[in-house]
């Protein structure tokens, strides 16, 4: 532990081929913090998460974990540095049992099966069924649980709430807070339910057209109508023409 930020992103640009989707993004997060990434559809949130996880090449910029620059942007290097992604499609092994989904990902020092069940008690009676037989909310719990057994330093959660009723999301988001508090990991949380996300996040950035148009303490953004409008719609915040 260096006492400095756990995650630092400097001047990150990301996209597809020559097409830049995210331009020059900076982010600093201390251990145990939840950083919300908000913004309308197509803003570049998933592109950012895939790039941090090493699944898309960086077009420019650098990523540091615990003060160490990630030399390579490959998935294995990102994973070794402790960046673990919960993708928006959850990517579970649907024919494997819930228990097997957890044990194949398990890494020394990660959450144990008991700890995962303590965090998500709804999974306890479901450990022996195939992941594909779970409800949407249970699948999301399993996707987060599978990330936790890998001992993440930086947990990247893309759209925890995809396809879930708001009442389920309301139950899941406090668990995100608890994970950051218990493990000291940074959680980067992409979330469409802006108000719910700002309730659990420490800080947030609002991405519009791949640029950060607002960033600051979550409570400040929650009290700022223009920031909320940008987070939902991107309205009124289109970048000035270059």
Instruction: Kindly list the residues in this chain that would bind Mg ion in the complex (CB under 5 A).
Output: 45-46
Residue closer to Mg ion by CB (options 46, 79) is 46
Residue whose C-alpha is closest to residue 143's, from 171, 172, 166: 172
d(Cα 220, Cα 181) in Å, to the nearest integer? Answer: 21
Tokens found for residue 203: 């800080």
Task: Give the nearest distance from C-beta 231 to ligand ATP in angstroms.
Answer: 11
Partner whose binding site includes residue 43, from ligand ATP, Mg ion, none (CB under 5 to 8 Å by kind): ligand ATP
Task: Give the nearest distance from C-beta 70 to ligand ATP in angstroms.
Answer: 20
Partner whose binding site includes residue 42, from Mg ion, ligand ATP, none (CB under 5 to 8 Å by kind): ligand ATP
87 binds ligand ATP (CB under 6 A): no
Task: Give the nearest distance from C-beta 26 to ligand ATP in angstroms.
Answer: 18
Task: Give the nearest distance from C-beta 166 to ligand ATP in angstroms.
Answer: 17
Sign of CA dihedral 186, 190, 195, 196: negative
d(Cα 238, Cα 45) in Å, to the nearest integer? Answer: 16
Which residues 6+ apart lie within 8 Å of 59 measured at CB?
Answer: 13, 14, 15, 20
The residue number with the shortest CB distance to Mg ion is: 46
DSSP bridge pairs for 82:
none
Q: Residue 173: is it exposed, middle or buried by C-beta count within 10 angstroms (0-12/13-18/19+)?
A: buried
Task: Give the nearest distance from C-beta 241 to Mg ion in angstroms.
Answer: 26
Binding to ligand ATP, residues 23-82 (CB under 6 A): 39, 41-47
Residues that bind ligand ATP (CB under 6 A): 16, 21, 39, 41-47
């Amino acid at each position: 532990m260096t006492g400095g930020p756990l995650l630092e992103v400097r001047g990150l640009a990301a996209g597809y081929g020559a097409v830049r989707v995210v331009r020059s993004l900076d982010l600093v997060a201390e251990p145990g913090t939840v950083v919300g990434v908000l913004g309308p559809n197509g803003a570049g949130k998933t592109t950012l998460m895939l790039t941090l996880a090493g699944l898309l090449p960086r077009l420019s910029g650098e990523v540091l974990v615990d003060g160490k620059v990630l030399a390579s942007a490959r998935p294995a290097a990102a994973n070794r540095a402790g960046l673990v992604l919960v993708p928006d499609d959850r990517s579970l092994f649907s024919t494997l049992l819930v228990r097997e989904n957890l044990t194949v990902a398990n890494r020394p020092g990660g959450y144990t099966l008991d700890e995962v069940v303590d965090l998500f008690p709804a999974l306890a009676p479901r450990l022996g069924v195939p992941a594909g037989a779970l409800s949407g909310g249970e699948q999301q719990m399993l996707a987060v649980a599978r990330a936790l057994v890998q001992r993440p330093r930086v947990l990247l959660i893309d759209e925890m709430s995809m396809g879930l009723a708001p009442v389920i999301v309301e139950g899941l988001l406090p668990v995100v807070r608890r994970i950051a508090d218990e493990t000291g990991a940074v959680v980067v949380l992409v979330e469409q339910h802006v108000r719910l996300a700002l309730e659990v996040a420490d800080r947030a950035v609002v991405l519009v057209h791949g640029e950060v148009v607002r960033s600051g303490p979550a409570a400040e953004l929650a009290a700022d109508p223009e920031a909320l409008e940008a987070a939902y719609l991107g309205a009124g915040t289109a970048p000035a023409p270059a």
